[in-house]
Amino acid sequence: MANETRGRSNWHRTATLMSAICVLAAACSSTTPTPQPTATPQTSTAPTAAPSPTPPEPVQGISESGEISLGAWIAQSGPLAIAANIGNGAQAYLDTVNDAGGVNGYTFKFTVIDDGADPTKTVVAAKQLWEDDKVFALFQPYGSGPFAAVKQYIAENDIPTLFPGANPDLYFTIGEAPPANIFGYLPPYSALVDQLVTWAANDLGVKKLAVVHTNEAFGQAGIDSANALAESLGIEIVDDIGYDATETNYAPFGRRVAESGADATLVWGIPGSPQIITAAVDSGYTGKWLLNEAFRGGFFLGQIAELAGVAGNSYLNLYQLQAFSDDPALDDFKSVFADKYPDGDPMYALAGWTAAEMLVKAVEEATADGSPLTWESLQATFLKWRNVNIAAAVGISYTEQQHIGALKAQILRLDAAGWTALTDFEFMPGLEELAGN
């Protein structure tokens, strides 16, 4: 073992000596070394962070927590106080959605101002909702007269407006591009009158027509449309009976109907119209009645349903299912509204419930991919709808050329047990080509 250790030591000494000789020889024979570039000292830097995504611009009426603020003027007092049921129907549906946690992170707040259907109060209400309450959109503002009073204000401020309860002839012109800030639900009253009077001429053989109407935007739509249509149908307008919505003595108007010689009478007024029908029947009128949608149920229908000669002799056309329908789409409405508003009028409330369900569906679709809600994204969603059925709404369609919504209606007859459908939902005159199908 000792010899082996010594052998390894001698080998190491020899190897060390040879290495030293080689290094010395290389040093003696080398030329001046070529200078090498000096390496730049490396410094430690943090990696550049990716730019933060730009937060979305705040949208008026949508809080950081996702609460969407909506507002409307709806008469809760005065001659059209029954309209309060429309707002209650909308609130009932929105409460149901909120109680379930909202939709895609959004909940809904609905503020209603009672303008009593007084246009002077509507102006104040519209400014309060948009400028003070800062709502995201006007939602189901009610009344043709009130809407006419703020139409210019809405246009000048480009206020998003959804499903006004007003004559669409005020804000849409068939054949012209619609305002981008308004999406409707009601069909034009001119189209409703056209369909009803045309059907009466063709199916009931009406030749002489009296028209009872209020002297404001809603009522004027009735007489204007009847006058425009009469000649082409071979109908004579035998009496134009206009009255103020504030009228209290209706007997003279009823007598005029009875004395007009009309085969049928078109009633295109809301306040006072049941009293005029009653006065006409009491004065001996036995002709047919062509009624506006206010008579579809509740208070107005209740005032005339028992009058002699009214049942079986009265007709109207409607653009949505009615609360008495057995369609399963209305099951939730029937149970929820009756529970929340046991004394409410479901016939009117259904319109509000349906509009609210339409809005929530659109919000859900617009935010399905996680994108924040804006008016522009909501617009784009509506413009994809073709022949959509939601709650009581039938065949809702929107295109770049029309924002009307409801393009179809059906004819109903009042029988002893209530309204009976005489036709399917059919396109109103001039609207089929707007469906975009």
Q: Are residues 364 and 401 in the same domain?
A: yes
Pair (194, 306) in one structural domain:
yes
List the one residue out of 89, 97, 96, 95 whose CA is nearest residue 72: 89
Q: If you ran DSSP here, which 8-state letter would residue 320 be given? A: B
Let me know if 367 is exposed, middle or buried by CB neighbors in 10 A (0-12, 13-18, 19+): buried
Boundary (domain end) residue, out of 269, 300, 317? 317
The residue count of the chain comes to 437
In a domain? residue 50: no
Sheet holding 67-73, edge to edge: 107-113, 67-73, 137-139, 161-162, 182-183
| pLDDT single digits (tens) 153-187 | 999 999 999 999 999 999 999 889 999 999 999 99
Domain shared by 338 and 373, yes or no: yes
- The answer to whether residue 418 sits within a structural domain is no
Residues 169 and 212 in one domain: no
Within 13 Å of residue 85, how many CA atoms lie on the same side as its CB?
22
Q: pLDDT band for position 25 (50/70/90)?
A: very low
- Residue 16 CB-density burial (10 A; 0-12 exposed, 13-18 middle, 19+ buried): exposed
199 shares its domain with 307:
yes
- The answer to whether the beta carbons of residues 414 and 311 sit under 8 Å apart is yes
Partners of 142 in beta bridges: 165
Residue 335 falls in which region: left (phi positive, over 0), alpha (psi -120 to 50) or beta: alpha
| Distance from the Cα of residue 2 to its chain's centroid | 105
Separation of alpha carbons 165 and 72, rounded Å: 10
Smallest CA-to-CA distance from 352 within 342, 337, 367 is with 337
Helix (H, G, I), strand (E, B), or coil: what is residue 183? strand
User: What are the backbone dihedrals phi and psi of residue 210, each rounded to the nearest 5 degrees, phi first?
Assistant: -100, 150
Q: pLDDT, tens digit, for every residue of 54-72?
A: 556 789 999 999 999 999 9
How many domains, in total, are found in the chain? 2
Per-residue pLDDT at 259: 98
Alpha carbon distance 210, 223 (integer Å)? 9
Same domain, 277 and 334: no
Q: Is the pLDDT of residue 207 over 90?
A: yes
Following DSSP, what letter does each residue of 137-158 receive, concatenated? EEES-B-HHHHHHHHHHHHHTT
pLDDT tens string 137-148: 999 999 999 999
| The pLDDT of residue 54 | 52
- Greater pLDDT, 49 or 110: 110
Dihedral, CA of residue 291, residue 292, residue 298 and residue 301, to nearest 10: -10
| pLDDT tens digit sequence for 314-344 | 999 999 998 888 899 999 999 999 999 999 9
More confident residue, 44 or 309: 309
Q: Give me 60's structure tokens.
A: 């008026």
Same domain flag for 195 and 310? yes
- Check which CATH number belongs to the domain holding 194 and give it: 3.40.50.2300
pLDDT of residue 22: 37
Closest CA relative to residue 222, chosen from 256, 269, 160, 279 = 269
pLDDT tens per residue across span 70-123: 999 999 999 889 999 999 999 999 999 999 999 999 999 999 999 999 999 999
Do 229 and 119 fall within a single domain? no
Report for 219-228, 289-298, 301-310: range of highest mean pLDDT:
219-228
H or E stretch at 91: helix 84-99
The tens digit of pLDDT for each residue in 342-369 reads 999 998 999 999 999 999 999 999 999 9
Do 105 and 116 sit in the same domain of this protein? yes
Does 307 lie in the same domain as 194? Answer: yes
Q: What percent of the chain has pLDDT over 70?
A: 87
Q: Which of 317, 351, 384 is the last residue of a domain?
A: 317
Q: Tell me the longest C-alpha to C-alpha distance in the chain.
A: 149
User: Is residue 82 in a domain?
Assistant: yes
pLDDT in the model for residue 338: 94
**pLDDT tens digits, one per residue of 398-421:** 999 999 999 999 999 999 888 999
pLDDT of residue 49: 46
Residue bearing tokens 């007024």: 269
- Asked if residue 382 is part of any domain, the answer here is yes
**Residue 421: both structure tokens together:** 């459908």
Average pLDDT, the chain: 88
Residue 293 lies in a domain: yes
Cβ atoms of 236 and 207 within 8 Å: the answer is yes
Report whether 288 contacts 315 (CB < 8 A).
yes
- Examine residue 412 and state whether it is found in any structural domain, yes or no: no
Q: Is residue 5 part of a domain?
A: no
Instruction: Let me know whether 359 and 216 are in one domain.
Output: no
Tokens of 409: 């209606």
Task: State the DSSP H helix or E strand holding residue 393, giving kind and residue range, or none if neither.
Answer: strand 393-399
Helix (H, G, I), strand (E, B) or coil at 41: coil
Q: Is the pTM of this model over 0.95?
A: no
Both 228 and 246 in one domain: the answer is yes
* Residue range(s) defining the domain that contains residue 151: 67-187+322-406
Tokens of 331: 């099951």
The answer to whether residue 89 is domain-embedded is: yes
Average pLDDT over residues 3-9: 38
Can you tell me the distance from the alpha carbon of 227 to that of 245, in angstroms, rounded to the nearest whole number? 21
pLDDT computed for residue 324 by the predictor: 80
